[in-house]
């Protein structure tokens, strides 16, 4: 027996259990295209996915690559530890919005601050999917989830602004309705040295169907956007604050700069040592 | 006590007076003379002010506990004399600064030296009074100047230190102690240094920790020596990140460890369970302090035993090891790494403030455990969670061309893909739990026994060893110490306790957690000696408490 | 079984087919007829697709477990028939959609109705096939249309539902079952609803929870009813915030609770210890599911007992209660709030998926526990942690003019100011632990006993009650169930087990955690029946497992 | 016996154990002045302090007012819970920088997002004081703490930017070297309805003595600063990024706007209910 699906060397035999119409399918397609490039250059075994828990996280069961299906909110520290052990791996994190912006928000801020060399894709459906439809940090105010049947009382967070404020060096937004654009974004993110963050708009067909809303308002960021200008990025991020109204929802790269990575700044080459010499020197 | 030389000094002053450093230098100097020493450090949770003291006991025989009585008090302030003079033995002497106003009034023999003045004259920082005090003590003990000078040169390092010491040495007077000197240098380690070195020796490559007393010095030590030891040492945003990154690192092939105290460990419990399910070799050091909650952060208690034994949701194999002194801390931490990797499951090392922050002079063993694992030999499709007789699946790390390595927190099939199928669930639970058999076999012998045939048995775990071992010797008791608390070494303990008329358990907590564990495993506990005021047993106190019961 | 009417129906289909809702409506309809019902819900962790089924058992006698055999299978897809037809009893019938292709081939008696077509014709959403199926079942059981119509009117609410039902009712055929009808409506509650109502009835004012299966429905229920119940219901950023805000609320005077499953509880452990030290009345509901870690999120296991018994660093009093059905869930959750406030310490309610997400028809008691506390009567300077004989200090809340209310995580003096002084530390540890005496006294009687004199005793806790109680009746066994697991009701259990020849423990975990706990408290356990594939015991399965041992 | 110090009705008898020269003394003075105002209006009993764990946290032991000495990183959720139970209390949180920006960063973001009606004072000494000198999220890169003896490898976080990006409605920075200015800031923060955040520069005399650095660079924000302009606030926050260089360290209010509070949006009046009526209605 082996782990592969019948006709697809990138897929496992695990049956897909996303709802029909789920935005995760588009994301899966995009990620697969990126993995395919790795496969073509014989580097697929050097890629690794880390996921949280939630609908989004099932993606690692579907893909025949190295993966760590971790726990809710902890994609980033697990991925970080993996990089400590083996900085040559290309690590892509898959988190939900509950995952990355709720339970695990602290790690997002620190991954950005440290410029850890990995990519985080947040499958942002603005709802807790797998736990059947509660409001998340990016749900619009008034969202009638199961924990807030008369409407969420909170304004949403804007994760783009948060990532910018935390020092991320690659900040982008994608949309599963634009798979090709998303594929390119992911590819750029993976190539970027340092922490690459993509908030991926991923409608939840069952609990928060936002397709037509996004289709109406999503606009690609023009290529003359000043990618290295933090204030410009912040301004662009303010165009849409994750509410249920929009005039324009920019997708694409908001910000991209070079900064030394955590791995470059903090890690040393590990090696063995002579215990008894060490004791003679420091303990006698 | 043994009819052999021993000598205790209490150093006292305010936090910020360099009391601890003073005690350490004295202890190290004596170690270099070949004496055995033990340093106990008592300090409140503040940075400047308050009252700190260290007791350094030195002897010609092995020791790992302090005594209440001391031969000399080195007082950097008046409060020290007031608080501690009742500890002075007959013929005991107080060494103090001329400036201490109360000095003259104290009833005991006193030697005053103008430490503050010396420091001032040499324009040294005030904290160097501690060096001056050390010099007076050295002089009092008739130890040649050259020895002090060399110790200072190697350990304290500044010229100014030397000048202060020299001046003070000159101005101080000799006492009547005849301090012995042996050939062989003794090595010295804080408990936490021994833990750090045990891990490093076994093959640690990634260490992550968030500071928390009394675990922080593992982080500090490893951070200071990271280049030398070849270990990545990282201080992350919180304990949750620490343990999860350690898990990530171990999954990707690097032996990894984290260390914390009870409150920080509490935050790691969710990840502990993850390590159980995903079969990750994870080592966590838990250095106990008095709880519940923040409790009394710089003092000691053995109050987290029951917590660590069963922390984590769901059922998975784990090991809990409890060293009693620096040597055991070294050996058992190395063993923790070995077991974690051999069985791909979490292993806990349970320490406490008294072990972690006391200084021991002991030799480390030449032989020790190292990380080894059942490596995947390649061939067919790799299955991370392949079934096997001992429950352990061959290990491969992500990055190799011939394997897809999938770890998971979900219940899973051999490839690591999620399952909800009842038979698969049960089989995987059994697979993991099967490791307990091997673990049990490997740890069953881990019991320390002394005076095997004595009728009265004293039982303890962890840092209580130091005092207990001396009492056992002095009173002719049997001493039995489980070094592993899960799996519980029932058979070995049964053998060790065979024929005991009476079983007395002593531990530093309020509910008798070791006693409960023994009862659970079918042992009779006749008497309990509990202490839960945050202080460890001194030799003298434990002696009295045991004597009362005999 | 009893010589009395009972009837089981299995409803099966894909997630998204409304299987659960279908089962619920059927169960409720029967409750309104005065029958006792029990609903068991089996679903994988996904939102659409996969295979869901619910078994609704109805009887004239009290039940709180399902059976493997069913009288009718209501199949919304072919897979249901394939998977479950072996469950059909003699004369059992499959009700299914005409469109199911396999339908004709299945060996058992079948009734097909064009549900899909009805729905289509009425332009109803596809999910309303479930209403159509319900109508066919109702018709098959010869239950008058009016009863269904009324139930739908009250519970399902849309007109379209009624039209679909009516059409389907008309097109369906009668069977031969004679469904009894009693006078008195039965109330019905999911386990989690009973927990929520128990807390509300006792005086809950603040509820915080982060969603986690199988605890989420407590949050959903309370959120939906918050205005009616007068409770603030908050879904915060994570479990840590949930529990700490609950602590803050309780400190400021509002009875507060949180609910989660094992992984979320793990994150609350640090705060649990804080509640112990700061003496905060805190109630946590822990709804177990199969671990370790994420495990099998939508299934059941009693694998966290040992974890919750000793979770938290340091030593502090706590209570762990384990209800076995909805009625007990209500009573014990109310009692949890009462005890938490009476003793100012954390109390845990241990549930599992099987209790939390099954539907019971039971009446709630007219009498139940309510929050009461030892209020400070004013007068002298308020001391939050004043010493007292029972360890409980008079309570005042911040905001009153005559008191300064200082809570703390540090060891402290009676005013709540930090102490590091050894005598104070020991005294405060003793003060807190003294509460265990009162708690023990108050909970000692909490043991369920049935057939007190039978020679063979079956022991279980929590949701295993449902199946066990029927088996005990059927086989004439003694059934003994501790409802409190800490403090452990040793004396009551001793009495309850007196004269038992044989003691059989049954529980849904792999290591026998209740059996271990019993052994720890000195009880003999002769045999264990363990199940750990994520599924609860059905009556039939437990019967077989017990029979094997007799 | 009672809880008060001999000659000071606002102080307890607890002995102060901060190091001589500690910046916390200035903060204590400022807080005391504010509490004094409450005392004068007979409302002291309606004030309440919540602290974390660290040197900063000892402040609650020194003040004779209601307090909850909580655990490391959890000032905000405890304070939030208190407000749920009794929204009329004036709650002031005291956190350390390790506390608020490390262990407890998630709660800071959510308190800001929700606009919970309380005040958070971060005693930002940019070091873990009580655990003897490790680097914190706001330590400058290269800081030689005990966990990073050869220098912290990370760029610091800028908490002002973070609070702004998270939706805080009152964002300020104070300095203990300007006690009067700080007192006013705290007073303004306490009066503000909603989440008021003050990052207080508090030199740690023992482990990170920054007095002269701050004395040199601290500049009060001019009163014509547009307090309601988020982008202007962000720009001002960028003037100093918590590194060891500065050209100007603005102190004062960066941003201040009105927005409904969590308490207004989410809380209901609690009350008792009739269980049996409820059962008849929903469970029969
Ligand atoms: C510590 C913890 N808390 C709660 C849960 C329950 N849980 C599982 S998935 C999930 C929500 C996932 O939402 P999101 O991250 O947005 O992912 P989605 O399902 O929407 O893809 C939660 C709360 C958990 N598994 N672990
Ligand atoms: C969960 C947890 N982790 C770690 C600690 C140990 N600890 C106590 S104080 C402190 C650091 C405090 O630093 P900061 O918050 O900056 O406060 P400061 O002492 O500088 O005022 C730490 C890490 C703890 N008490 N709890
Ligand atoms: S619930 Fe939403 S996110 Fe989850 S699989 Fe269904 S459509 Fe996708
Ligand atoms: S260590 Fe620093 S912050 Fe703590 S009391 Fe001393 S000077 Fe103040
Ligand atoms: Mg989501
Ligand atoms: Mg600090």
Clarify whether residues C321 and C431 are in a common domain. no
Clarify whether residues B337 and B205 are in a common domain. yes
pLDDT tens, residue order, chain C (550 aa):
445 899 999 999 999 999 999 999 999 999 999 999 999 999 999 999 899 999 999 999 999 999 999 999 999 999 999 999 999 998 899 999 988 876 566 667 889 999 999 999 999 999 999 999 999 999 999 999 999 999 999 887 788 999 999 999 999 999 888 888 887 888 999 999 999 999 999 999 999 999 999 999 999 999 999 999 999 999 999 999 999 999 999 999 999 999 999 999 999 999 999 999 999 999 999 999 999 999 999 999 999 999 999 999 999 999 999 999 999 999 999 999 999 999 999 999 999 999 999 999 999 999 999 999 999 999 889 999 999 999 999 999 999 999 999 999 999 999 999 999 999 999 999 999 999 999 999 999 999 999 999 999 999 999 999 999 999 999 999 999 999 999 999 999 999 999 999 999 999 999 999 999 999 999 999 999 999 999 999 999 999 999 999 9
Given the structure tokens 């250095």, which residue do they identify? B287
Q: What domain range includes position B48?
A: 6-171
Q: Enumerate residues with CB within 5 Å of ligand 5 (an ion).
A: A 96-97, 125, 129
Clarify whether residues B253 and B384 are in a common domain. no
Last residue of a domain, one of C141, C171, C201: C171
By Cβ distance, the residue of D55, D147, D207 closest to B235 is: D147
CA pair distance B321, C395, nearest whole angstrom: 42
- The CATH number assigned to the domain holding A221 equals 3.40.50.970
Pick among A53, A82, A103, A262 to test the B interface (most B CBs inside 10 A): A82
pLDDT given for residue B2 in this prediction: 45
- Distance from Cα B218 to the centre of ligand 2, integer Å: 16
Which chain A residues contact residue C16 at CB under 8 A?
Answer: 19, 206
pLDDT in tens, B414-427: 999 999 999 999 99
B76-102 average pLDDT score: 91
Ligand 4 touching residue D19 (CB < 6 A): yes
For chain D, say whether C271 makes contact (Cβ under 8 Å): yes
Clarify whether residues B341 and B310 are in a common domain. yes
Sheet architecture: strand order including C359-361: C109-113, C88-97, C70-75, C6-15, C49-59, C36-42, C359-361, C188-190
CA pair distance B10, B94, nearest whole angstrom: 9
- Distance from Cα D24 to the centre of ligand 4, integer Å: 8
CA nearest to C243, candidates C311, C342, C292, C331: C311
pLDDT given for residue C104 in this prediction: 60
Sign of the Cα torsion D223, D226, D227, D230 reads: negative
For chain C, say whether B267 makes contact (Cβ under 8 Å): yes
| pLDDT score of B101 more than 90 | no
By Cβ distance, the residue of D17, D102, D148 closest to B223 is: D148
CA pair distance A9, A30, nearest whole angstrom: 16
Which chain A residues contact residue C263 at CB under 8 A?
Answer: 71-72
Pick among C47, C51, C231, C259 to test the A interface (most A CBs inside 10 A): C47
For residues B291, B296, B298 and B299, what is the CA-based torsion angle, rounded to 10 degrees?
-70
Ligand 2 touching residue D105 (CB < 6 A): no
Write phi, then psi, for B509 (nearest 5 degrees): -155, 175
- Distance from Cα A66 to the centre of ligand 3, integer Å: 24
Ligand 2 touching residue D58 (CB < 6 A): no
CA pair distance D111, B180, nearest whole angstrom: 64
Ligand 4 touching residue D82 (CB < 6 A): no
First-to-final CA distance of chain D = 58
Residue nearest to atom 25 of ligand 1 (CA): A72
- Distance from Cα B201 to the centre of ligand 5, integer Å: 44
- Distance from Cα A57 to the centre of ligand 1, integer Å: 9
pLDDT given for residue C99 in this prediction: 85
- Distance from Cα D53 to the centre of ligand 2, integer Å: 5
Domains: count for chain A: 1
Atom of ligand 2 nearest to the CA of D53: 9
CA pair distance C326, C347, nearest whole angstrom: 19
Instruction: Give the predicted TM-score (pTM) of the model.
Output: 0.98
Which chain A residues contact residue B409 at CB under 8 A?
Answer: 53, 69-71
Last residue of a domain, one of B443, B459, B486: B443
Clarify whether residues B345 and B378 are in a common domain. no
For chain B, say whether D209 makes contact (Cβ under 8 Å): no
CA pair distance C521, C492, nearest whole angstrom: 12
> Which span out of B97-111, B174-188, D210-224 was modeled with the highest average pLDDT?
D210-224
Clarify whether residues C327 and C197 are in a common domain. yes
CA pair distance B91, B74, nearest whole angstrom: 15
Ligand 3 touching residue C47 (CB < 6 A): yes
| Residue C284 CB contacts under 8 Å (≥ 6 apart), including other chains | C243, C257, C258, C259, C260, C265, C268, C272, C346, C347, C348, C349
Beta carbons of C299 and B420 less than 8 Å apart: yes
Q: Which ligand is nearest to the CA of D21?
A: 4
Domains: count for chain B: 4
pLDDT given for residue B104 in this prediction: 60
Beta-carbon-side half-sphere exposure of residue B546 (alpha carbons within 13 Å): 31
At B303, list the tokens.
């109050």
Asked whether residue C51 is assigned to any structural domain, the reply reads yes
Which chain C residues contact residue D86 at CB under 8 A?
Answer: 252-254, 397-399
Sign of the Cα torsion B221, B223, B227, B233 reads: positive
Interface of B with A in 403-462 (CB under 8 A): 403-410, 415-418
pLDDT category at D148 given cuts 50, 70, 90 is very high
Q: Enumerate residues with CB within 5 Å of ligand 6 (an ion).
A: D 96-97, 125, 129
For chain D, say whether C496 makes contact (Cβ under 8 Å): no
By Cβ distance, the residue of B301, B310, B314 closest to C292 is: B314
Clarify whether residues B106 and B196 are in a common domain. no
Residue to substitute in D54, D75, D156 for testing ligand 2 pocket (most ligand atoms within 8 angstroms of CB): D54
For chain D, say whether A193 makes contact (Cβ under 8 Å): no
Instruction: For residue A284, give how far its alpha carbon lies from the nearest alpha carbon of chain B (Å).
Output: 5
Beta carbons of C235 and A53 less than 8 Å apart: no
Sort B434 into a burial class: Cβ within 10 Å, 0-12 / 13-18 / 19+. middle
| pLDDT score of B404 more than 60 | yes
Q: Say if CB B270 and CB A104 are below 8 A apart.
A: no
Ligand 3 touching residue A19 (CB < 6 A): yes
Instruction: For residue C218, give how far its alpha carbon lies from the nearest alpha carbon of chain B (Å).
Output: 20
Atom of ligand 3 nearest to the CA of A132: 1
Question: Kind and range of the H or E element at D92?
Answer: strand D90-96
Q: What is the mean pLDDT of chain B?
A: 95
Clarify whether residues C456 and C335 are in a common domain. no
Clarify whether residues B223 and B355 are in a common domain. yes
pLDDT given for residue B3 in this prediction: 52
Q: Say if CB A251 and CB A174 are below 8 A apart.
A: yes
Q: What domain range includes position A140?
A: 4-282
Beta carbons of C230 and D71 less than 8 Å apart: no
Pick among B182, B198, B404, B405 to test the A interface (most A CBs inside 10 A): B404
Clarify whether residues B420 and B457 are in a common domain. no
Q: Residue B259: beta bridge partners?
A: B285
Please tell me the least confidently modeled range out of B145-154, B478-487, C433-442: B145-154
Asked whether residue C181 is assigned to any structural domain, the reply reads no
Clarify whether residues C124 and C231 are in a common domain. no
For chain B, say whether A66 makes contact (Cβ under 8 Å): yes
| pLDDT score of B99 more than 70 | yes
Asked whether residue B183 is assigned to any structural domain, the reply reads no
Any idea what DSSP says for residue D140? Answer: P
| pLDDT score of B155 more than 90 | no
Sort D259 into a burial class: Cβ within 10 Å, 0-12 / 13-18 / 19+. middle
Pick among A17, A68, A96, A137 to test the C interface (most C CBs inside 10 A): A17
Clarify whether residues B438 and B496 are in a common domain. no
CA pair distance B41, B62, nearest whole angstrom: 19
For chain C, say whether B125 makes contact (Cβ under 8 Å): no
pLDDT in tens, A192-223: 999 999 999 999 999 999 999 999 999 999 99
Which chain D residues contact residue C271 at CB under 8 A?
Answer: 71, 74
- The CATH number assigned to the domain holding C539 equals 3.40.50.920
User: Residues, chain B, total?
Assistant: 550
Instruction: For residue D218, give how far its alpha carbon lies from the nearest alpha carbon of chain C (Å).
Output: 35
Asked whether residue C54 is assigned to any structural domain, the reply reads yes
CA pair distance B172, B140, nearest whole angstrom: 7
Instruction: For residue A64, give how far its alpha carbon lies from the nearest alpha carbon of chain C (Å).
Output: 21
Q: Which residue does chain D place closest to A160, by CA atoms?
A: D165
CA B302 to chain centre: 12
- Distance from Cα D129 to the centre of ligand 4, integer Å: 5
Which parts of chain A sit beneath pLDDT 50? none
């Amino acid at each position: 027996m082996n782990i592969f699906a019948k006709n697809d060397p990138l897929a496992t035999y695990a049956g897909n259990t996303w709802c029909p119409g789920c935005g995760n399918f588009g994301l899966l397609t995009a990620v697969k295209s990126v993995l395919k490039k790795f496969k073509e250059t014989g580097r697929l075994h050097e890629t690794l996915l880390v996921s949280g828990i939630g609908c989004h996280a099932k993606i690692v069961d579907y893909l025949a690559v190295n993966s760590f299906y971790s726990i809710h909110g902890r994609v980033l520290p697990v991925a970080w530890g993996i990089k400590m052990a083996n900085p040559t791996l290309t690590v892509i994190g898959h988190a939900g919005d509950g995952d990355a912006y709720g339970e695990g928000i602290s790690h997002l801020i620190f991954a950005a601050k440290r410029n850890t060399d990995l990519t985080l894709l947040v499958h942002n459906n603005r709802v807790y999917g797998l736990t059947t439809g509660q409001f998340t940090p990016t749900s619009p105010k008034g969202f009638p989830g199961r924990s807030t049947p008369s409407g969420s009382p909170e304004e949403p967070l804007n994760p783009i602004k948060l990532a910018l404020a935390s020092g991320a060096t690659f900040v982008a937004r994608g949309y599963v309705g634009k798979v090709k654009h998303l594929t390119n974004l992911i590819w750029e993110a993976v190539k970027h040295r340092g922490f690459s963050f993509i908030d991926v708009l991923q409608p939840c067909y069952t609990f928060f169907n936002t397709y037509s809303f996004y289709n109406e308002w999503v606009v690609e960021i023009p290529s003359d956007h000043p990618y290295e200008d933090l204030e410009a990025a912040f301004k662009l991020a303010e165009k849409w604050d994750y509410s249920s109204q929009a005039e324009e929802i920019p997708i694409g790269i908001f910000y991209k700069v070079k900064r030394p990575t955590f791995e470059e700044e903090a890690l040393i080459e590990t090696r063995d040592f002579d215990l008894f010499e060490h004791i003679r020197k420091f303990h006698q | 006590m043994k009819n052999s030389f021993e000598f205790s000094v209490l150093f006292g002053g305010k936090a910020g007076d360099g009391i601890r450093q003073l005690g350490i230098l004295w202890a190290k100097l004596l170690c270099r003379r070949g004496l055995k020493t033990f340093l106990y450090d008592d300090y409140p949770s503040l940075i400047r002010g308050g009252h700190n003291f260290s007791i350094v006991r030195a002897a010609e025989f092995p020791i790992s506990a302090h005594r209440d009585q001391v031969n000399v008090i080195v007082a950097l302030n008046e409060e020290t004399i007031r608080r501690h003079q009742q500890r002075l033995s007959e013929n005991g002497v107080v060494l103090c600064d001329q400036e201490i106003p109360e000095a003259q009034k104290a009833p005991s023999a006193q030697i005053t030296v103008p430490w503050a003045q010396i420091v001032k004259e040499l324009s040294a920082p005030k904290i160097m009074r501690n060096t001056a005090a050390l010099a007076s003590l050295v002089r009092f003990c008739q130890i040649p100047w050259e020895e002090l000078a060399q110790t200072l040169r190697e350990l304290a390092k500044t010229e100014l230190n030397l000048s202060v010491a020299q001046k003070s040495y000159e101005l101080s007077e000799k006492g009547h102690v005849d301090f012995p000197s042996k050939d062989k240098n003794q090595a010295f380690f804080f408990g936490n240094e021994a833990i750090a070195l045990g891990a490093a020796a076994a093959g640690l490559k990634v260490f992550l920790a968030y500071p928390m007393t009394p675990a922080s010095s593992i982080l500090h030590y490893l951070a200071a020596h990271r280049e030398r030891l070849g270990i990545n040492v990282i201080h992350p945003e919180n304990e949750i990140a620490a343990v999860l990154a350690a898990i990530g690192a171990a999954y990707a092939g690097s032996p990894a460890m984290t260390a914390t105290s009870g409150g920080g460990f509490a935050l790691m419990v969710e990840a502990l369970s993850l390590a159980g399910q995903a079969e990750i070799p994870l080592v966590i050091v838990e250095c106990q302090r008095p709880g519940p909650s923040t409790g009394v952060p710089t003092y000691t208690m053995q109050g987290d035993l029951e917590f660590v034994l069963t922390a984590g949701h769901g059922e998975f194999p784990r090991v809990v090891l409890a060293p009693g002194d620096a040597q055991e801390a070294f050996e058992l931490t190395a063993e923790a790494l070995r077991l974690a990797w051999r069985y791909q499951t979490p292993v806990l090392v349970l320490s406490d403030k008294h072990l972690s922050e006391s200084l021991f002079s002991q030799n480390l063993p030449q032989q020790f455990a190292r990380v080894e694992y059942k490596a995947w030999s390649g061939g067919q499709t790799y299955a991370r969670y392949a079934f096997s007789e001992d429950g352990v699946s061959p290990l491969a790390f992500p990055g190799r061309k011939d394997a897809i390595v999938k770890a998971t927190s979900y219940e899973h099939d051999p490839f690591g893909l999620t399952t909800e199928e009842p038979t698969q669930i049960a089989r995987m639970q059994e697979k993991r739990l099967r490791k307990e058999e091997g673990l049990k076999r490997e740890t069953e012998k881990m019991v320390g026994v002394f005076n095997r045939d004595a009728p009265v048995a004293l039982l303890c775990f962890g840092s209580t060893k130091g005092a207990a071992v001396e009492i056992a010797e002095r009173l002719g008791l049997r001493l039995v110490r489980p070094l592993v608390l899960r799996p519980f070494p029932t058979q070995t303990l049964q053998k060790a306790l065979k024929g005991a008329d009476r079983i007395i358990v002593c531990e530093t907590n309020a509910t008798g957690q070791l006693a409960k564990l023994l009862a659970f495993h079918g042992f009779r506990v006749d008497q309990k000696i509990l202490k839960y005021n945050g202080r460890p047993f001194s030799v003298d106190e434990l002696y009295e408490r045991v004597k009362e019961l005999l």
